[in-house]
């Protein structure tokens, strides 16, 4: 009997009534997830760079990912705020004023899928969320099947040369794709590296997370230092760097580009 | 005859020392390469296409910053003056970061932005040049605060990735100078020549403006010219390498402690001393936590401060 009561209580606590939840999505990937799981109509406010899907562009802005305007936020009468970082200035105030605060800061591909499920539960869109998560997981499993361990250099920025270090989101994306990040052992978020170190690491593929950077110039540069066999691939940073529902699109695109480049080689 | 009295002897002695140090530093990097005898083709390319341009850039930028520092110290009659004291670095940074925000994928735009920003800053400061050193200094310090505020505003508006780049630029980077090495060395040489031509007037200015005027110096003209010269040199250094602190403040003092306060020797010694300090700092920056790099500005302070403090103590006893 006691067990049943506890279970009932737990059910009541774990599945709150969702109707009329008014959500602040305080990072671009959070916005994307909410729209993807069908919670878009509950979102009442967003921050800068919440630009996908198009509907999100129309949302009132209440700040940036790293700071919010509490008054503007309260004017939207939110009941829930989903944040990247609990330490963001203003979040503690919102919490004190009775807004439910939920954190979503996925640091790996698995955590992205986990967060989609979790946000689905918390916003009352379990079904769509678990469908989406299941779909992403299947696509991820397919990608994981091929582990080539090709050494790659991820050129976050060219001048100065910045790359992704150990335990970063990008490093995880690369290892999920079966690639070997040549600076995956460096214990820094975005280490500035020396071109000599890249030559010594001898990557086979350079990945540039931008479609606007002068790819011709960068390709010529890398050909000069790493030989004509080096492959240079560009990816859309919004797809690869945002821990949101479009991540698998980005990973598949990257994988496809890799396959294409490598088949050219043979 | 002591080396301090003969500028030429001093020039060549310091030149020889700098070349020896540079030659040794050339070998240091991801792995040691003997500069006399690189063992492979890629090694010799690393030596001549990567390491030597960077070392020479460091030398020229360091030397120019030290010269600019020495000039600002006498111009403003203030030992705390340094190349960035009048806000040139701040306005250059505002220009560079604006360029990053507007055209995030064009690398040369950052240098162009820095250069334009630096000259906007200089133009504003110049309009205070006739007001005497105290008011000029005050205007400069207030302007520096103003630029810093605009910079903070820009950084608050940048996306997360942009912030990393903005800080990377602000802490100095010698690996990607948009200005070719020869032009920097030329600027270094030209700056040193101008400095030497002016050195006698600068010595007189050190006695105070009234004394200098009674000794036949056209003080207002000298001040304007000096301000322009020092600012232009700072603008070139900032465009080439971002903001690298400390060299311009400490090297001139260091050289005064070592070689006395006559400007002929101070300027020659600063041009070489600043260059050598920045070469040392940059070599440390790219080797200490290899394969990652440290911002060179951190290293200039870490190497410069202990040396400076030690010399201060020694001279007093």
pLDDT, tens digit (0-9, with 9 covering 90-100), for A23-79: 999 899 999 999 999 888 888 988 888 888 888 888 888 888 778 888 888 889 989
Q: Is residue A9 part of a domain?
A: no
Judgement on whether residues A101 and A135 belong to the same structural domain of the protein: yes
pLDDT at A5: 59
Q: Within an 8 Å CB–CB cutoff, is residue A157 touching chain B? A: yes
Domains of chain B: residue spans and CATH: 7-316 (1.10.3470.10)
Residue with token string 């001048």: A159
How would you write the pLDDT of chain B (317 residues) with one tens digit per residue?
465 668 888 889 999 999 999 999 988 888 888 888 888 888 888 888 889 999 999 999 999 999 999 998 888 888 888 888 888 888 988 998 898 888 776 767 888 888 899 889 888 888 887 887 788 888 888 999 999 999 988 888 777 667 777 887 788 888 877 788 899 999 999 999 998 898 888 888 888 878 888 888 888 888 888 888 988 899 899 888 888 888 888 899 888 888 888 888 899 999 999 999 999 999 998 888 888 888 888 888 788 788 888 877 876 54
Q: Within an 8 Å CB–CB cutoff, is residue A215 touching chain B? A: no
**Taking each helix axis from N to C terminus, what angle separates B160-170 and B88-102, rounded to the nearest 10 degrees?**
150
Q: What's phi and psi for A157, nearest 5 deg?
A: -150, 150
Judgement on whether residues A130 and A155 belong to the same structural domain of the protein: no
Nearest to A192 among B156, B157, B293 (CB): B293
Say if CB B27 and CB B49 are below 8 A apart. Answer: no
Judgement on whether residues A157 and A253 belong to the same structural domain of the protein: yes
pLDDT at A264: 67
**Taking each helix axis from N to C terminus, what angle separates B247-259 and B296-316, rounded to the nearest 10 degrees?**
30
Would you say residue A162 has pLDDT above 60? Answer: yes
**To the nearest whole angstrom, how far is the Cα of A16 from the nearest Cα of chain B?**
34
Cross-chain residue pair B291–A188, CB shorter than 8 Å? no
Judgement on whether residues A51 and A84 belong to the same structural domain of the protein: yes
Judgement on whether residues A23 and A52 belong to the same structural domain of the protein: yes
pLDDT at A1: 57
Judgement on whether residues A104 and A163 belong to the same structural domain of the protein: no
pLDDT at A16: 47
Q: Within an 8 Å CB–CB cutoff, is residue A162 touching chain B? A: yes
Q: Is residue A129 part of a domain?
A: yes
Q: Is residue A71 part of a domain?
A: yes
pLDDT, one tens digit per residue, over A87-145 is 888 888 888 988 889 999 998 999 999 999 999 999 888 899 999 999 999 999 988 87
Cross-chain residue pair A195–B50, CB shorter than 8 Å? yes
**To the nearest whole angstrom, how far is the Cα of A135 from the nearest Cα of chain B?**
29
Considering only CB atoms, which chain B residues are within 8 Å of A156?
A: 161
Judgement on whether residues A89 and A171 belong to the same structural domain of the protein: no
Q: Given A139, A165, A198, which residue is the final one in a domain?
A: A139
Q: Tell me the mean pLDDT in the region A154-161.
A: 84
Cross-chain residue pair A192–B292, CB shorter than 8 Å? yes
Domain CATH for A108? 3.40.50.1980
Judgement on whether residues A95 and A75 belong to the same structural domain of the protein: yes
Considering only CB atoms, which chain A residues are within 8 Å of B291?
A: 183, 186, 191, 193-194, 197, 200-201
Residues in chain B: 317
Judgement on whether residues A240 and A175 belong to the same structural domain of the protein: yes
Which of B292, B297, B299 to probe the A interface (max A CBs under 10 A)? B292
Measuring CA to CA, which residue among B178, B180, B157 is closest to residue B169?
A: B178
pLDDT at B172: 82
End-to-end CA distance of chain A: 69
**Residue B91 and residue B97: Cα distance in Å, rounded?**
10
pTM attached to this predicted model: 0.81
Q: Is residue A8 part of a domain?
A: no
Nearest to B165 among A48, A157, A194 (CB): A157
**To the nearest whole angstrom, how far is the Cα of B293 from the nearest Cα of chain A?**
5
Q: Within an 8 Å CB–CB cutoff, is residue A45 touching chain B? A: no
Judgement on whether residues A160 and A252 belong to the same structural domain of the protein: yes
Cross-chain residue pair B295–A183, CB shorter than 8 Å? no
Cross-chain residue pair B29–A195, CB shorter than 8 Å? no
Residue with the larger pLDDT of the pair B1 and A147: A147
Q: Within an 8 Å CB–CB cutoff, is residue A221 touching chain B? A: no
Q: Is residue A12 part of a domain?
A: no
Going by C-beta distance under 8 Å and a sequence separation of 6 or more, which residues neighbour residue A44? A22, A23, A24, A59, A60, A76, A77, A78
Say if CB A236 and CB A254 are below 8 A apart. Answer: no
Residue with token string 């070489």: B272
**Residue B114 and residue B240: Cα distance in Å, rounded?**
9
Cross-chain residue pair B106–A210, CB shorter than 8 Å? no
Q: Given A109, A139, A169, which residue is the final one in a domain?
A: A139
Range list of H helices, B50-176: 52-75, 88-102, 107-126, 133-157, 160-170
pLDDT, one tens digit per residue, over A210-247 is 767 678 888 888 988 888 888 888 888 888 889 999 99
Q: Tell me the mean pLDDT in the region A196-214.
A: 85
pLDDT at A54: 87
Q: Is residue A1 part of a domain?
A: no
Beta-ladder partners of A43: A23
Q: Within an 8 Å CB–CB cutoff, is residue A202 touching chain B? A: no
Q: Is residue A76 part of a domain?
A: yes
Cross-chain residue pair A160–B291, CB shorter than 8 Å? no
Q: Is residue A14 part of a domain?
A: no
**To the nearest whole angstrom, how far is the Cα of B290 from the nearest Cα of chain A?**
8
Say if CB B233 and CB B64 are below 8 A apart. Answer: yes
**To the nearest whole angstrom, how far is the Cα of A164 from the nearest Cα of chain B?**
11
- C-alpha triplet B194, B198, B203: angle, nearest 5°: 145
End-to-end CA distance of chain B: 26
How many domains does chain A contain in total? 2
Would you say residue A2 has pLDDT above 80? Answer: no
Look at the alpha carbons of B36, B39, B42, B43 in this order and tell me if their dihedral is positive or negative: negative
Judgement on whether residues A117 and A198 belong to the same structural domain of the protein: no
Range list of H helices, B127-180: 133-157, 160-170
Range of the structural domain that residue A253 is part of? 146-265
Measuring CA to CA, which residue among B304, B284, B305 is closest to residue B293?
A: B284
Judgement on whether residues A164 and A103 belong to the same structural domain of the protein: no
Count contacts between A and B (CB, < 8 Å). 81
Q: Given A97, A117, A139, which residue is the final one in a domain?
A: A139
**Residue B247 and residue B273: Cα distance in Å, rounded?**
9
């Amino acid at each position: 009997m006691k067990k049943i009561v506890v279970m009932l209580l737990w059910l009541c606590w774990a599945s709150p009534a969702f109707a009329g939840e008014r959500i602040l999505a305080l990072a671009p990937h959070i916005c994307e997830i909410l729209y993807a799981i069908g919670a878009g109509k509950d979102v009442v406010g967003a921050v800068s760079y919440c630009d996908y899907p198009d509907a999100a562009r129309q949302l009132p802005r209440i700040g940036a990912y790293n700071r919010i305007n509490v008054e503007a936020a309260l004017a939207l009468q939110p009941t829930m705020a989903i944040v990247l970082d609990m330490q963001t200035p203003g979040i503690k105030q919102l919490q004190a004023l009775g807004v439910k605060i939920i954190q979503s800061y996925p640091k790996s591909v698995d955590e992205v899928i986990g967060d989609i499920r979790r946000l689905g539960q918390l916003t009352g869109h379990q079904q769509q969320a678990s469908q989406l998560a299941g779909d992403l997981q299947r696509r991820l499993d397919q990608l994981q099947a091929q582990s080539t361990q090709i050494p790659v250099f991820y050129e976050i920025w060219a001048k100065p040369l910045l790359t992704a270090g150990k335990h970063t989101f990008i490093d995880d994306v690369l290892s999920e794709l079966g690639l070997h990040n040549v600076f995956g052992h460096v214990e820094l978020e975005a280490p500035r590296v020396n071109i000599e170190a890249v030559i010594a690491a001898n990557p086979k593929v350079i990945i540039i997370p931008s479609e606007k950077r002068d790819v011709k110039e960068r390709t010529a540069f890398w050909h000069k230092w790493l030989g004509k066999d080096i492959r240079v691939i560009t990816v859309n940073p919004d797809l690869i760097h945002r821990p949101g529902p479009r991540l698998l699109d980005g990973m598949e695109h990257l994988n496809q580009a890799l396959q294409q480049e490598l088949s050219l080689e043979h | 005859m002591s080396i301090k009295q003969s500028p030429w002897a001093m020039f060549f002695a310091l030149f020889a020392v700098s070349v020896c140090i540079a030659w040794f530093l050339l070998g240091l990097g991801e792995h040691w390469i003997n500069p006399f005898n690189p063992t492979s083709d890629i090694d010799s390319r690393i030596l001549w296409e990567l390491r030597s341009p960077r070392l020479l850039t460091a030398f020229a930028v360091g030397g120019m910053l030290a010269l600019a520092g020495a000039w600002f110290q006498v111009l403003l009659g203030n030992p705390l003056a340094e190349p960035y004291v009048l806000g040139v670095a701040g306005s250059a940074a505002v220009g560079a970061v604006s360029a990053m925000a507007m055209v995030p994928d064009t690398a040369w735009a950052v240098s162009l932005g820095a250069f334009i920003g630096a000259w906007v800053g200089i133009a504003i400061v110049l309009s205070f040049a006739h007001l005497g050193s105290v008011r000029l200094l005050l205007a400069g310090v207030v302007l520096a605060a103003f630029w810093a505020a605009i910079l903070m505003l820009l950084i608050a508006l940048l996306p997360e990735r942009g912030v990393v780049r903005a800080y990377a630029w602000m802490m100095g980077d010698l690996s990607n100078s948009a200005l070719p090495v020869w032009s920097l060395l030329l600027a270094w040489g030209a700056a040193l020549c101008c400095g030497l031509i002016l050195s006698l007037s600068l010595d007189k200015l050190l006695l105070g403006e009234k004394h200098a005027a009674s000794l036949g110096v056209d003080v207002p003209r000298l001040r304007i010219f000096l301000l322009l010269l020092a600012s232009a040199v700072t603008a070139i250094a900032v465009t080439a390498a971002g903001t690298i602190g400390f060299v311009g403040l400490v090297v001139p003092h260091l050289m005064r402690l070592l070689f006395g306060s006559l400007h002929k020797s101070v300027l020659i010694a600063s041009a070489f001393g600043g260059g050598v300090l920045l070469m040392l700092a940059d070599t440390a920056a790219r080797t200490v936590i290899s394969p990652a790099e440290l911002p060179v500005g951190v290293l200039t302070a870490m190497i410069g401060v202990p040396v400076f403090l030690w010399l201060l103590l020694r001279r007093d006893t």
